[in-house]
A and B are shown apart, each in its own frame.
Chain A
Amino acid sequence: MQRINTLLRAVPVWLVYVAGVLLAAVLFYQGLTGALGAEPIKALEHEYGELALQLLVATLAITPLRRLLGVNLMRFRRAIGLLCFFYVSCHLLVWLLLDVQLLGQVLADILKRPYITIGMAGFVLMLPLALTSNGISVRRLGARWRLLHRLTYPAAVLGALHYVMLAKGFQLEPLIYMGLILLLLALRLPSAARLKLA
């Protein structure tokens, strides 16, 4: 573990930001050039949404990974969290500007379609988290910052639920995300606090 942590310390945090934003740009470019298939709008919407979910799982995994296995990724947590918000925003923008296209229809969908209402609620919960993901906010808010950032937990559940609800038929993948997120949240329960694997 010590060796892994030493290697991780050599990775600059800015590299995570650059890699994350670059991937979003590459996907957009692929959408433009036809590399995402015959229907690039839906493909891009799904890619951004799925990456956001993966980053959500990653942020939630950081604390249990340190506690259970001793792997320390704490330095990257803010970057991963902010990138997650960035991907959720990209996902929302593709849906709004490229997919639905009409503002009136967007508002109607948010009110009328439960899976969209839930996805939107998850996004709204993430807004204060993104806005306070900086050193100044951490110092100003003190103990309240930790409390505020527990909004990550309901936001993650809403994100996974959004995916579960939009699948056609019985599909495994959304349930795997939901399962992972619930597991990572369960590891935070007081009864799981004494667990140690390494």
Chain B
Amino acid sequence: MAHRWTNDLNDADVTPYSAFLNRRQIMAGLGGVAGLGLAGLGGTAAQAATEAALEPNSWEDVTTYCNFYEFGTGKGDPTAYAGQMMTEPWSVEIDGLVERPGSYSMAQILEAMTLEERIYRFRCVEAWSMVVPWQGFELADLLNLAGVQDGAKYVAFETLYRPSEMPGTAYKVLDWPYREGLRLDEAQHPLTIMATGIFGKPLPNQNGAPLRLVVPWKYGFKSIKSIVRITLTDQQPQTSWNMANAREYGFYSNVNPKVDHPRWSQASERRIGGGLFARREPTLMFNGYEADVAALYQGMDLAENF
């Protein structure tokens, strides 16, 4: 069932490609101003920077600035190397505490789901952010397809691990395959989607083709890409970043301006695409989705369960 949730960002918030190009020209024009030194940054430049900060993101930003460590740790590596990942045929193994475990092909999944658009804020744990127009369906619908058993409390996810097509996995940056997890109520929340596209086009490989999770109130690394396995379980699953560094990356990883990452503040963020003089913006509790999701964590100490 689609269209249970509507958002306050709409198509008008997505920057058309032509406007994005214009902005780049404005930024280039700023070069002359900056030549006078940073003190020379007067009204027009500051104004342009503020306007740029308010503008949501372009196709260019979303598809060239990615973290997908299976293809390398540089932000441009996924764009450069993810093309070699074979995404057809693709199937997702749904197992664990489900009524109908098995291998679900993409065709099978897409036939059963209704795609809809969701424009979400996306906040990386590294303190940068974007606004992305996703196409996809609610994870709850996919879970219903497999039938969730009564005892299930968590959902575990796994990314494809295919070293021959993933040069980044030659190094043990993380314990491959990449793993993520959600509590069942988080997974069934109407904001939680499985994305198959962006900007009305199929997901580019670097963005997690053909099927990825999007949990907009959590740091970006929770939104696991190129999913091949979904397991319903009664145990809190292990997650890759928590395994690598439990002090820095908690299971919940909800966006929270009041709980700092040990190595940097999470109080503010920088919207990608604002150029060299982009201002920082305050980070919103639950990335701006507090009204929708705060109830999930009632009575929990969010500094403890970070």
Interface residues of A (CB under 8 A from B): 28-29, 31-34, 37-42, 44, 97-98, 100-102, 105, 108-109, 113, 115, 165-172
Q: Which 9 A-B pairs have the closest CB atoms?
A: A38-B65, A169-B173, A38-B61, A32-B31, A33-B28, A31-B276, A40-B276, A38-B272, A34-B24
Chain B 228-267 interface mask (CB, 8 Å, partner A; 1/0): 0000000000000000110000000000000000111100
Q: Known interface pairs A37-B64, A113-B264, A170-B173. Does A98 touch B73 (Cβ–Cβ under 8 Å)?
A: no
* Cα(A32)–Cα(B276), bound, Å: 6
**A39 near B171 (CB under 8 angstroms)?**
no
**A41 near B65 (CB under 8 angstroms)?**
no
Q: Known interface pairs A32-B27, A32-B275. Does A168 touch B73 (Cβ–Cβ under 8 Å)?
A: yes
Residue of B28, B38, B128, B272 touching A32 (CB-CB under 8 A) = B28
Measured between beta carbons, the chain A residues less than 8 angstroms from B60 are 38
The contact sample of 13 A-B pairs, CB cut-off 8 A, is A29-B31, A32-B34, A32-B276, A38-B61, A41-B270, A98-B277, A100-B280, A113-B262, A115-B263, A167-B73, A168-B73, A170-B171, A171-B171
- Residue B56 is within 8 A (CB to CB) of chain A in the complex: no
**B69 near A169 (CB under 8 angstroms)?**
yes
Interface residues of B (CB under 8 A from A): 24, 27-28, 30-31, 34, 38, 60-61, 64-65, 69, 73, 75-76, 126, 128, 171-174, 244-245, 262-265, 270, 272-273, 275-280
Distance between B69 CB and nearest chain A CB, rounded to angstroms:
7
**B172 near A113 (CB under 8 angstroms)?**
no
Measured between beta carbons, the chain B residues less than 8 angstroms from A115 are 263
- Closest-by-CB residue of B relative to A33 is B28
Choose among A29, A31, A169 the residue with the greatest number of B CB atoms under 10 Å from its CB.
A169
**B64 near A38 (CB under 8 angstroms)?**
yes
State the majority secondary structure of interface residues on B. loop
Give the tally of cross-chain contacts (CB within 8 A).
77
**A105 near B265 (CB under 8 angstroms)?**
yes
Measured between beta carbons, the chain B residues less than 8 angstroms from A37 are 64-65, 75-76
* Cα(A37)–Cα(B128), bound, Å: 14
Measured between beta carbons, the chain B residues less than 8 angstroms from A28 are 34, 276
14 more contacts with CB within 8 A, not counting A32-B275, A113-B263, A170-B172, are: A32-B28, A33-B31, A37-B65, A37-B76, A38-B64, A38-B65, A42-B128, A102-B280, A109-B264, A113-B262, A168-B73, A170-B171, A170-B174, A171-B73
Measured between beta carbons, the chain A residues less than 8 angstroms from B174 are 169-170
* Cα(A108)–Cα(B279), bound, Å: 19
* Cα(A105)–Cα(B260), bound, Å: 12
